[in-house]
Structure 1
Amino acid sequence: MVHALWFRAVLPGGSLRENGFGRICWLGQDGGVIWGKRVQRPVLGEGGPLGAVRRAVDGAAVAGWEALNDLVEVLLEVDAAGDEEAARSALAMVTGAAGLVTRLDAHARQGPWYGPYQEAAVRRVRARFSGATSGPVATALASMDGDGRLRERAVAAMVARPWPEVMPFLVLRTADWVKPVRDRARAGLALLLADDPGAHLPVVLPMVLRLDARVRGGFAVTQVRAALLSSSPEVWRGLFGSGGCRQRRFVFDIAVSQGWLRLADYVTSAETDPDVGVRARAAEVACREAVWTRRLDVLRRLAGSRRPEVRVVALTGLVRVGHDPDVAAHLDDEAPLVRAVARDAARRLGIDAREHYWTAVSAAQPLLGAIAGLAETGSAADAPLLRPLLSHPLAKVRAQAVRGLRMLGAVVVGDLVPLLRDPSPAVVREATAALRPLLGAVPPGLPWELLADGRVELRRAGYRLLRGNGVDVELRAALLLTLDPDPRLAGRGKADVTRLARDAERTTWRRSPRPQLTVTATQHTELVELAARATTALGEDNSQKLATWLARTRPGG
């Protein structure tokens, strides 16, 4: 109650809350959070200790230093229970969240549990860690301590008891800024990878790849590469079949350089791998080998892939073996680069690609690639072939026709204005992009009508059309968008209001001219009212800047 009275006296207009870890907090009118005093240790709550860890990990993945502090204290509560299995499961949740271990490590150095949390957290971490007999959580947290001697002892404990869940923390210390800590961690990592690469590579590799860009991260990458080269096929295939895109590319590059894969493996990867980088590299290797061995069946198979990055490599291979007719058959492909390769082959065969597109676009069911191809090779004289497609029953055809007219420089405002209310969001988006350079010909009230429409894509289109029409129009539209029920549009409006308000603020370092707000008395009153309505969404700081700017503005007649 004392804290509530203090908050209400100092920050009126907010509300008192308590988060899931026993911390009293005050929510201001702008949605910001001002944290109060911790009244108790983290409440484990529903789901037991591991449930609390999961909630803390989820919170730390999107929040700042306060959430990281909460995660540390929840982990300490798990460690105090003395259950090694639960502690290892808790660490597995931490290491399973992308980037969370490196954020915890940076937090320990740059924002080391300071203020009212420093003494409790640091003292409890150091008290829980006693060397090789400590649990995995205490060892992992001690490895990030600011004391180099404690980090070195933690590294020795991790090497002595190499739990898989603490290996990412050991990898971090191989790039430590203190040489004794770094040397001990590197020696331990090298020995562990040499003794059992199959057990340690899966847990080490993701963190090693995150260290690749660091100044001292090269050692760990080299050790992992060496361990991978000496591992069995079951190990590297298991690593290739799991993990993120970076891990898959790392393993795949080594497999390619060592010749571990066959042509059939490359074809399968090019057709089915979920990562675009692996698909493109596999297609390149497969097509190169198919060109050398004259495997036309492989080239034709990959040329029919649904992936454009695979098709273009396969068509290039067919060009190299002299099969231009197969390549020219892809003139109507939906991928721009594929169409370019096909047009080059058609030129060698004496085929006029523009005439081909004239015929294809005039068909009852024109292909999207043909419409795009005509826009790439034609001129404004070809626009009459595309205008009838603006009323085509298929939304994709209408959108592609609008894009084609824009590329040809043959936009007629009267033809596209009705498409701003098209049932298809894609058509609305293309029509908006085509009309933006011609705003002077658009009915002046139409963008405001769109901004007030019930459909999200129409409000987005109206806002895009209003941008660039003067500071007063931009500010009014951005304030209206800040109040939009769609979170993404509201965020866009808030960002633009923030930019305008900050640019209008007087600063000694800003060289660009401040935005000049020229409004009538009626417009000024409307802007003040909109700013007041948007106070909660904008936040206190931005609202104050905007209020100062509006108060300084002198309305005209």
Structure 2
Amino acid sequence: MIWGRRDGPVLPTSTVGESGLLGAARIAVDEAGVGQWDALNCLVEVLLEVDAAGDEVVARSALALVAGMPQLVVRLDEHARSAPWHGHYREPALRQAATWFTGASSGPAATALASMHGDGRIRKRAVAAMVSRPCTEIMPFLVLRTADWAKPVRDQARAGLAVLLADDPAVYLPSVLPMALRLQARLRAGFAVNQVRAAVLATREQVWRGLLGSGGRRQRRFVFDIALSQGWLRLPDYVTNAETDPDVGIRVRAAEAACREAVWTRRLDVLRRLAGSRRPEVRVVALTGLVRVGRDSDVAVHLDDDAPLVRAVARDAARRLGIDARERYRTAVSATEPLLGAIAGLAESGSAADAPLLRPLLSHPLAKVRAQTVRGLRMLDAVVVGELVSLLRDPSPAVVREVTAALRPLAGAVPPDLPWELLADGRVELRRAGYRLLRGRGVGVELRAALVLALDPDPRLAGRGKADVTRLARGVERTTWCRNPRPQLSVTATQHTELVALAARATTVLGEDTSQKLATWLARTRPDG
């Protein structure tokens, strides 16, 4: 069996066909990605079965499914040296890889799994087989062994990796790079990262550009940083990355590089183009560049931008030009269709005296305007409870969220029954609002609200309620050295009876441990009066 041709990429799945073994491997990989010990054990068994079938193409295709997930490779390596302390489990299937692995003639899956064996001698033989018959699908497992705790295994893996990357970086870099970066934080992982960096520096432009345009965020940032430090990119490349790259870190660094070069070369067209980007982090860098070249007039037109930092830069430019930004905002919010940036800008630069200009917008037909207006009134410290209570049942969840945030500091002025009515409403956002308004009203109220929420049909709300009940119940059993005081439950006899009934209903949701703690707490509590 020859599975190690360096220039022999694995055939596409479409040419291999969805065989039963490959389909089983796909299912096992998906389950192992989110599963626990038994799912990983099942994946190892499936990979060994695929390898035993003797079909090289299918075996490499199955191994590629695992190799494409560095986190799963790391979990398999940890799985090889672990065993559950409870449950009816067999011995880890990965330990059986030693019986399947016979040396360089073994299949790729058996070799990869043998490289994770607890016996260092077996791992060393597996590494030798990887190096003598390399393939892209097995490279992540070789990278893992470059950080092995056994020096003979580690040295052999490092020597093999260095030779392979030096001989053909274009073939092996795409599979080595993600795994090396995944191990970057490990104690002995520096060698693999340095080898990858050296390979990227020595490779052709076509290769590093391919790595920059594919892979995960960590890989693309790594390659971009190298390209940036080496000056491989030009101004058009920076502009393209700043406008289109999906990663905010790359966008910002590309925008900074593009604007820096545009400032030096007085390329105002580039600065204006990036100042019109839909990405706020790009716009603010471009506006800063325009400020440095003395184009305050181009910057001041962004006074009503949606991004807070952009508005701040624009206000600073307007100040130098003698423009009254606050007066501009006052005029803009009085228009028929006020811009959200103008409302936010007035809240940032105005005072409570400007609140009358915003209050008419609470009834604006656009939900985003109403939500921004509520946020602006909160920033101006001009919230009137009576005006906002009616908006708690607004059709827009965004408005409800903003009104709840504005009313929380003033929850004592809200009608006392209203939060409980919201907590029983049919809309999820209203139940969430009611629960938030009940926070901070005493342990008894918080416990009752959390028990009600734990029974909520919405999974996220129910999880929040369960977590809060658990926190309160565990807080009662805190030891004396804890800084936070134990929650003191002060309730009437009627309230105590209601809490006991709610606790009984929520038993199946809370779990045995929390329910027992809660029952003990309620049993020890003596109602007032």
Under a length normalisation based on structure 2, what TM-score does the superposition of the two structures give? 0.93
Query: How far apart are the structure 2 equivalents of 1:520 and 1:80?
Result: 71
Give the deviation of 1:388 after TM superposition: 0.6
Give ranges in structure 2 of 5+ residues lacking alignment. 1-17
Give the one of 485, 509, 521 matched to 2:493.
Answer: 521
- Is residue 203 from structure 1 mapped to residue 161 from structure 2 by the alignment? no
Which has the larger displacement, 440-449 or 60-69? Answer: 60-69
Distance 1:270 1:121 in 2: 48
- Displacement of 1:116: 5.7
Q: Distance in 2 between matches of 1:55 and 1:444?
A: 53
Instruction: For 2:92 and 2:212, locate their aligned partners in 1 and report how far apart those are by CA, in whole Å.
Output: 43
Pick one of 1, 21, 24 that aligns with 1:49. Answer: 21
**Counterpart code for 1:166:** I
Decide which of 442, 447, 452 is 1:475's aligned counterpart. Answer: 447
Distance 1:522 1:397, change over 3 A: same
Alignment coverage as a number of residue pairs: 512
In the aligned structure 2, how far is the partner of 1:314 from the partner of 1:63? 46
Runs of 4+ in 1 over 6 A off after TM superposition: 112-115
Whole-Å separation in 2 of the counterparts to 1:199 and 1:447:
62
- Please give the root-mean-square deviation of Cα atoms over the aligned residues, in Å: 1.8
Structure-2 residue corresponding to 1:298: 270
| CA distances 1:238-270 after superposition (whole Å, capped 9, x unpaired) | 111111111111111111111111111111111
Match of 1:42 in 2: none
Aligned to 2:314: 342
Deviations 1:145-200 (A, max 9, x none): 11111111111111112121111111111111111111111111111101110110
**Kept after mapping to 2: 8 A contact 1:75/1:137:** yes
Whether 1:81 and 2:81 are equivalent positions in the alignment is no
The CA deviation at 1:224 is 0.5
Pairing of 1:211-290 with structure 2 (within 5 A): 211-290=183-262
* Residue aligning to 1:24: none
Instruction: Give the residue type in structure 1 aligned to 2:390.
Output: P
Q: Cα 1:56–1:545, aligned 2, differ >3 Å: closer, same or farther?
A: farther
**Separation (CA, whole Å) in 1 of partners of 2:100 and 2:58:** 16
1:414 equivalent in alignment to 2:425: no
CA contact (8 A) 1:78 1:86 kept: yes
Superposition deviation, residue 130 in structure 1: 1.4
User: Where in structure 2 are the equivalents of 1:65-104 lying within 5 Å?
Assistant: 65-97=37-69, 99-104=71-76
Asked if structure 1 preserves the Cα contact closer than 8 Å seen for 2:391 and 2:403, the reply is: yes
Tell me, in whole angstroms, the C-alpha distance in 2 between the residues paired with 1:227 and 1:451.
59
Distance in 2 between residues matched to 1:112 and 1:194, nearest whole Å: 42
- Name which of structure 1's ranges 97-106 and 296-305 shifts more when overlaid on structure 2: 97-106
Greater CA deviation, 142-151 or 78-87? 78-87
Query: Take 1:67 and 1:531, find their aligned partners in 2: how far apart are those partners?
Result: 35
Identity of aligned residues (%): 81
Task: Give distance in 2, aligned partners of 1:540 and 1:524.
Answer: 21
Deviates more, 1:181-190 or 1:80-89: 80-89
CA distance in structure 2 between the partners assigned to 1:48 and 1:516 by the alignment: 61
Hey, what's the Cα distance between the residues in 2 that align with 1:223 and 1:358? 59
For residue 493 of structure 1, what is the aligned residue in structure 2?
A: 465
Quote the Cα distance in structure 1 between the aligned partners of 2:450 and 2:171. 55
The answer to whether the Cα contact below 8 Å between 2:181 and 2:219 also exists between their aligned partners in 1 is yes
Gaps of 5+ in 1: 1-45
Is 1:180 matched up with 2:171? no
Out of 210-219 and 398-407, give the one that drifted further.
210-219
Find the partner of 1:141 among 113, 129, 132: 113
Provide the rounded CA distance (Å) in 2 between the counterparts of 1:511 and 1:288. Answer: 51
TM-score, normalisation: structure 1: 0.89
Q: 1:517 Cα shift?
A: 1.4
Counterpart of 2:143, as a letter, is: V
TM superposition shift of 1:66 = 2.7
**1:390–1:398: 8 Å Cα contact kept in structure 2?**
yes
Counterpart code for 2:103: G
Q: Which residue of 2 aligns with 1:484?
A: 456
- Contact 1:330–1:339 (Cα < 8 Å) also in 2: yes
Retained in 1: the 8 A contact 2:375–2:402? Answer: yes
Deviation for aligned residue 1:375: 0.7
Q: CA 1:130/1:114 → structure 2, altered by over 3 Å: closer, same or farther? A: farther
CA distance in 1, matches of 2:315, 2:102: 71
Going from structure 1 to structure 2, the CA distance change for 1:549 and 1:87 (only over 3 Å counts) comes to: farther
Retained in 1: the 8 A contact 2:470–2:514? yes
- 2:133 maps to which of 161, 164, 177: 161
Structure 1 counterpart of 2:51, which letter? D
Question: Structure 1 435/427 Cα, relative in aligned 2: closer, same or farther at 3 Å?
Answer: same
Q: Could you tell me which residue of structure 2 aligns to residue 36 of structure 1?
A: none
- What is the match of residue 3 of structure 2? none
Task: Give the equivalent residue in structure 2 for 1:126.
Answer: 98
Q: Give the C-alpha shift of residue 110 in structure 1.
A: 4.3
Partner residue, 1:371? 343
Is 1:461 aligned to 2:433, yes or no? yes
1:543 aligned to which of 500, 511, 515: 515
Contact 1:139–1:158 at 8 Å: present in 2 too? Answer: yes
Instruction: Please tell me the residue identity of whatever aligns with 1:324.
Output: D
Q: State which drifts further: 257-266 or 291-300.
A: 257-266
Cα distance, 1:413 vs. partner? 0.2
C-alpha separation in 1, matches of 2:81 and 2:96: 17
Are the counterparts in 2 of residues 57 and 97 from structure 1 also a CA contact under 8 Å? no
Q: Is the 8 A contact 2:41 2:92 kept in 1?
A: no
Of 259-268 and 111-120, more deviation after overlay is shown by 111-120
